[in-house]
């Protein structure tokens, strides 16, 4: 699916809001459509606030109305996160880099903190049978065509697993890759 490129101040202002990030995270972890009330109950804010945030996320094309259901005589509207990758536009020369950097730092920090909390909660119960996350890092050597191939493989795999499937578990991830030059130490 076509990525959403957040390029302007208005788009970035909408997306970087911490409550909207919490709403998106909640919806992505659940992996199925949710009502504003269900989201509100999960993250601890009012359903009317969630509805306002969802309206703004909908304007960006990140969230959409999925369906409605009658629940105890009330029409409940369910929303879903669209399976579209979101790109913050890298570091451009448009005056919005501080916002992009803050978003990226907060995202990486939240995911790393979650990983540490998960590892700590497991304690010494980690075994080969444990559904354990991991961190991989290092240097690989790629030709230009291979960088595109790697990105397409990763994007394809992630796209294929964005939606909840029976028996699946939500996994949090962060991937960072960039070219480096040979370092010289003088």
Going along the chain from its start, the domains and CATH numbers come out as: 4-86 (1.10.10.10)
d(Cα 8, Cα 11) in Å, to the nearest integer?
5
Residue 186, pLDDT score: 61
As given in the structure block, the two tokens for residue 46 are 């009012």
Q: Residue 38: is it exposed, middle or buried by C-beta count within 10 angstroms (0-12/13-18/19+)?
A: middle
In 3-state terms, what secondary structure has residue 137?
A: coil
Residue 59, pLDDT score: 94
d(Cα 137, Cα 10) in Å, to the nearest integer?
35
Residue 73, pLDDT score: 93
Q: Residue 141's closest CA among 180, 185, 174, 184? A: 180
Cα four-point dihedral sign 52, 56, 57, 63: positive
Asked whether 60 and 12 are in contact (CB, 8 A), the reply is: no
Residue 50, pLDDT score: 97
| Residue segments in the chain with a per-residue pLDDT below the cut of 70 | 1, 89, 126-131, 182-186
Strand partners, 74: 71
Residue 101, pLDDT score: 86
Residue 130, pLDDT score: 60
d(Cα 27, Cα 38) in Å, to the nearest integer?
10
E strand segments, 23-96: 34-35, 63-71, 74-81, 86-87
């Amino acid at each position: 699916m076509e990525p959403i490129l957040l390029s302007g101040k208005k788009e970035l202002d909408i997306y970087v809001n911490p409550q909207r990030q919490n709403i998106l995270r909640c919806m992505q972890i659940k992996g199925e459509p949710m009502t504003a009330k269900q989201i509100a109950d999960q993250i601890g804010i009012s359903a009317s606030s969630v509805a306002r945030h969802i309206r703004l996320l909908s304007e960006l094309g990140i969230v959409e109305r999925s369906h409605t259901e009658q629940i105890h005589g009330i029409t409940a509207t369910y929303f879903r996160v669209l399976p579209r990758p979101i790109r913050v536009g890298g570091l451009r020369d448009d005056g919005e880099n501080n916002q992009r950097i803050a978003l990226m730092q907060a995202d990486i920090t939240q995911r790393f903190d979650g990983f540490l909390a998960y590892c700590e909660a497991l304690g010494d119960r980690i075994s080969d049978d444990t559904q354990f996350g991991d961190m991989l890092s290092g240097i690989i050597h790629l030709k230009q065509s291979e960088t595109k191939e790697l990105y397409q493989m990763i994007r394809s795999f992630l796209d294929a697993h964005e939606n909840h499937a029976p028996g699946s578990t939500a996994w949090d991830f962060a991937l960072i890759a960039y070219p480096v030059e040979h370092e010289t130490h003088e």
